[in-house]
Structure 1
Amino acid sequence: MSNSRKEQESHNFDQIASEWNQLDVAAGTGIIYSRLLHNKVTPQRYTAVDISQSMVDLYYAKLKEVLETLPSDSLWTEAYKESNTIGGIVMHVCEHVARNCLRLTEREDELGTGFEEFFPNSNMTSGELLAVFESQLREWSLIMNRYIQHELSLEEEHLHQLYHLVEHTGYHLGQIIDRAQGVLGTKFDFYGKGLNESYLRSKIIGDIDAKH
């Protein structure tokens, strides 16, 4: 395809999407590729920022509120016979984040086996469990920032791993929230507190603008 044709198609696309946000993600319409190119934001960098913000600014904030609200003695209580405890699920997510750190830094040879069944029990308090998660997420965030700053190259395999991490974390976070609400007998109002997709989109745009 010639450059002139590419430019014309880019122009036509922008005309169609003139009312869309530069990074229209929250509405589910996807990335406006031509506008990313115009602002010299590579899709890889956008993806790194998007995933990083999802994990740090949305998932972590929700998990933090749950753990700070939940009595510690309910963390290690089975919801039903042989079910995974809330604390065990949090530790499972921590382990996945740790494994993702190894993959992102090309240390796959250090990966252990049995991750699928890793839902340990413990006597940690809510504060101690949150500290473990924060520490692991901090390590992951530092690695992700190296990708955002182009110190490391985000390859296709990394993208598969990262999207799986976000999907997997979101799935288990939903489990944790649902079980915590059952224990507390009330619902968390995350949306009303601003922990929603609109907030996430503003964080993504702000982060890209700040580091552009």
Structure 2
Amino acid sequence: MELVYKISYHRMQDHYLPKLVQAIRLVSEEELWKKETSVNSIGGIVLHICEHLQRNTRRYKDPNIVFENGIEEYFPVKQISSEALLKTVEEIFDEWGKAYIQVWEEKRHIDLQSLLHLVEHTSYHLGQVVDRTKCIEGQQFNFC
């Protein structure tokens, strides 16, 4: 079971974060926040991922925390610069990683259902970001 926790951490920090950063760097700020009918902006999706990470970070620190609202519709359009968004993403992933390691070292347990949901959810939305970036920029990522 310990391997699942290690792989999950590795996926988030060493696979998803670099891909997210690469995608953000490729699009213009205009394209980053462009919202079309029934389609969330790339930046909004990125901030949605960040909100999910922040909630998990808070839950690691306070397992009894209750959030009043879900984040199903949280895809904000903030119009911040690409650099500011990158800084936010890197800080939030870093904070999540530190909290994750601390909880794992102290308790040797993290709620597996929540963890797998976070990993799957991040992967899903990362796929959206990468796909939209590819469509806009016409560039292959060659992640493998």
Which residue of the partner structure matches residue 5 of structure 2?
48
Q: Residue type matched to 2:97 in 1?
A: S
Q: Aligned pair 1:74/2:31, yes or no?
A: yes
| Alignment-derived partner of residue 38 in structure 1 | none
- Computing the radius of gyration over CA atoms, which structure comes out larger, 1 or 2? 1
Partners of 1:152 and 1:143 in 2: CA distance: 12
1:141 is paired with a residue of what secondary structure?
Answer: helix
Q: Which runs of 5+ in 1 are unaligned?
A: 1-42, 192-212
Take 1:106 and 1:114, find their aligned partners in 2: how far apart are those partners? 17
Q: Cα distance, 1:171 vs. partner?
A: 0.3
Give the letter aligned to residue 31 of structure 2: S
Kindly indicate whether structure 1 or structure 2 has the higher relative contact order, using CA contacts under 8 Å at least 6 residues apart. Answer: 2
1:107: Cα distance to partner? 4.3
SS of structure 2 residue aligned to 1:120: coil
Partner of 2:71: 115
C-alpha change, 1:70 and 1:85, in structure 2 (3 Å) is same
Maintained 8 Å contact 2:59/2:65: no
SS of residue in 2 equivalent to 1:119: coil
Please give the TM-score of this superposition, normalised by the length of structure 2: 0.92
7, 20, 25: which one pairs with 1:63? 20
> Does residue 1:167 correspond to 2:120, yes or no?
yes
Q: Could you tell me the percent identity over the aligned residues? A: 35
Q: Secondary structure at the match of 1:102?
A: helix
CA distance in 1, matches of 2:40, 2:64: 27
For residues 68 and 44 of structure 2, the distance between their equivalents in structure 1, rounded to whole angstroms, comes to 18
C-alpha contact (below 8 Å) 2:57/2:96 kept by paired residues:
yes
What is the deviation of 1:102?
1.9
Aligned to 1:205: none
Question: Which residue in 2 is equivalent to 1:154?
Answer: 109
- AA aligned to 1:121 is V
CA RMSD of aligned residues (A): 1.5
Query: C-alpha displacement at 1:105, in angstroms?
Result: 2.3
Separation (CA, whole Å) in 2 of partners of 1:81 and 1:46: 42
